[in-house]
Amino acid sequence: MNLEEIKLINNSYQPATSIAWISLPRTGTNYICELLHNHYKIISHYEIFHRHNFYARDNKKIISLINDEYSRSFLNYKDISLIKWIHDHPDKLFTILKKSSIKNYFSFKIFPGQLETDLIKKIIISDNSIKKILIKRNLLDVYISREIALESKKWGHVDTSKIQVKINFDEFLKWFNWVNEWYQLFENELINIGQNFSVISYEGLHWQKSDKDKFIYLINFLRTVGINLELQNVVNKIKFDTSYKKQDQRANIANKIIDSVEFKKKLHNAGLEYLLYV
């Protein structure tokens, strides 16, 4: 796989100050955040709209700035009052993130259910300064990865390549449709207002062998979509030390499913058999 796989909509790019990674849990977003943070021009946050915690780099500094700017007294990244304030005032959070960053760009990720749809449209979709990038992974693989994590209680840093799970097809189909609605929210709204977005493939990124190769792939992707980042003078200075690795090394998705023959039949009948092939 190569950069030709990257799907681009609308080439009239606007100058960006931030990057929104629009995705799902179990799509390698933590790895991307860690990888991207190696670049000196980007501060790479995590789930800043998480429902229970504020996952930002240097969150103590950011919370202090929020308290000073808006006369608040939030304690820490788990403060329930802080989480409520963030979800009520995401625009104010963005103001603070821009003010706190000494780098050219900041990035963050957002998952389904973390912000109300009206706020997503108003604060993220309509803002030309936020580069919208959808991270997509084979959805059956995402679902299986989630089910393995739930069953084994192993969410990261552990090899799960020998674990199989039984998949309830009806539950998978309901989830599959819900996920597609999440992505379509961004795709349809952005197309309607004539704004650009891009899609990066989990499989395309992880087809690269080393962390260095993946970093080069990621930076080239971002350069392609209008993020002005140096590469040649940066990559050889980085000591890659990410702790995030693929938990499941199996290429054949069917090998992860108990009673895969029956599940394949149901996929075929629903016109979704293509999901078995990455």
The reported pLDDT for the residue numbered 11 is 41
> What residue segments make up the domains of the chain, in order of their start?
3-41+103-137+184-243
Q: Which residues of the chain have pLDDT under 50?
A: 1-13
What's the whole-model pTM score? Answer: 0.90
**pLDDT tens readout for residues 41-64:** 999 999 999 999 999 999 999 999
pLDDT at position 244 is 63
pLDDT at 16: 86
Question: Would you state the pLDDT for residue 2?
Answer: 45
Residue closest to 251 by CA, chosen among 214, 208, 207, 221: 207
CATH number of 3-41+103-137+184-243: 3.40.50
Determine the pLDDT at residue 119. 94
The tens digit of pLDDT for each residue in 196-225 reads 899 999 999 999 999 999 999 999 999 999
